[in-house]
Amino acid sequence: MVVGDVSTGTDVLVIGGGPAGYTAAIRGGQLGLDVTLVEKEAYGGTCLNHGCIPSKALITATDLADRAGDAEHMGIHADPAVDLNAMTDWKDGVVDQLTSGVEKLCKANGVNLIEGTATFAGEGRARVAHGGEGQGSETIEFEHAIVATGSRAMALPGFDFGDEPILDARQALALEEVPDSMVIVGAGYIGMELAGVFAKLGTDVTILELLDSALPNYDDELARPVKKRLEDHGVEFHFGVGAEEWTDNGDGTVTVTAAAMDGGGGSDGPSGGGETMADGGEAETADPGGASDADEDAADPEQFVAENVLVAVGREPVTDTLGLDAIGLEPNEQGVLETDDRAETAVDGVYAVGDVAGEPMLAHKGSAEGKVAAEVIAGEPAALDHQAIPAAVFTEPEIATVGLTEDEAFEEGIDPVVGEFPFRASGRALTADESDGFVRVVADAETEFLLGGQIVGPDASELIAEIALGIELGARLEDVASTIHTHPTLAEAVLEACENARGEAIHTLNR
């Protein structure tokens, strides 16, 4: 212990107050554990403060303005005026309500909250440095520790987030003025979601993606309607190119130089996050929207001029600030703290949850891990079951997936049966003026057990929950097909997709 430190003890030390961390802390408090939660910036983490929640607020607001201004065919004539400052104030109000709620819930469940940065100082011991001059530090002795430090935006060489025109998603969501033009590097879900926001605000958006398609980890049938809708809003796509450098033009714009690449590497995973976006939420993994050292055979470079450059090439776990050497814990090559199905790391008494524990980087996955870690510590028979973790992309239209695709079922030696229902045959989708897309379900042909589902269309992020529940409960196609759904609703499309897989659909041709 450092001389002058205050020393305290706790059953469970939780490092990080995002969805994974605060969920672990609250659940631990409910189970009677003495829990201390250390957060260095804001309760709710990146997800609530700078990612999932603010991005969805702006997506909703800009969608509303766009739909109101494009509804002449419905007999509505309007020309909405967007006040970005007022929109931002509303968004910030939503964030404040949720983050203050997290703090109140933690306190109500007996969680001791400490603001500061925690680093391990040895076995069963951590040091917390408090922010601000003269605030000092303290030492916390613990029986168990849960690491929930989340993730951060990955940078590209030469594209420093400290340079004013270069933005990560957090900075883009905090802009005080709508830029006239923007280059987005990376066509993963963060890039695609924010492309929609800024295009609807009137920004000329150009997306650069190293691979040959948008949302490259999703089936083309799912990604195609999203790309088309963005193109309808004026977004330009350039595939097979990597951003190499940028120069300041001296007139409020920059020029991004990008070159065609032969290679590619990995791409971002389904989410974001989702939450979508960022930390414990809809976070994306490495998306090669920019050039890499391995891409040596560049063709003639192209140049793109814009006011801002949003780098959305993925996220990486935050493990380098924890002093892990002090407890003998080493991340893998991706910076991930590997865990078992009880969220335990290789060090006894130390757990990892959320983005820091690796893929998928999703807020709801992190929350589930946080609950498991707390319950394991309390002696409960808890374990993780990852067979039904849904992911969503909050684009227009939305995309949501869960479980296995048809190809993945084949790869696992399963003979799948597939059912689909197009939203153009849905009365509710038509009356909502949102008929693009479809619901697809995948089941075992022999047993009819649900294996997975893919949805692109209105409220896909909500509809996927029924399929996820079906997988979790071991439901069969008949179970969903025989459940009476309210009419007219979008949820009927899930029922009809299951009927279609059985050759019994009423409102679409059976396969």
User: Which pairs count as long-range contacts for 248-255, CB under 8 Å and 24+ apart, including other chains?
Assistant: 248/165, 249/305, 252/307, 253/181, 253/305, 253/306, 253/307, 254/165, 254/305, 254/306, 254/307, 254/308, 254/309, 255/303, 255/304, 255/305
* Tokens 């995973």 sit on residue: 269
- Nearest-angstrom CA–CA distance, 464 and 415: 22
- Nearest-angstrom CA–CA distance, 416 and 441: 10
487 is catalytic: yes
Residues 107-145, buried b or exposed e (16+ Cβ, 10 A)? eebebbbbbbbbbbbeebbbbbeeeeeeeebbbbbbebb
- DSSP for 266-299, please give it: --PPP------SSTTSS-------B--TT-----
Residue 491's alpha-carbon distances to 250, 399, 403, in angstroms, are 53, 15, 18
- Nearest-angstrom CA–CA distance, 60 and 479: 34
Cβ atoms 223, 242 nearer than 8 A = no
Cβ atoms 131, 117 nearer than 8 A = yes
Q: Which helix (H) or strand (E) holds 61?
A: helix 52-68
The count of C-alpha atoms lying within 13 angstroms of the C-alpha of 160, restricted to the half-sphere facing its C-beta, is 5
Q: Which helix (H) or strand (E) holds 89?
A: helix 84-108
DSSP 144: E
Is 322 strand, coil or helix? coil
Catalytic residue among 73, 233, 487, 507: 487
Task: Give, in degrees to the nearest 5, the angle at Cα 151 between 100 and 342.
Answer: 90
Phi, psi (rounded to 5 degrees) for 128: -115, 115
Cβ atoms 196, 64 nearer than 8 A = no
Active site positions, annotated: 487
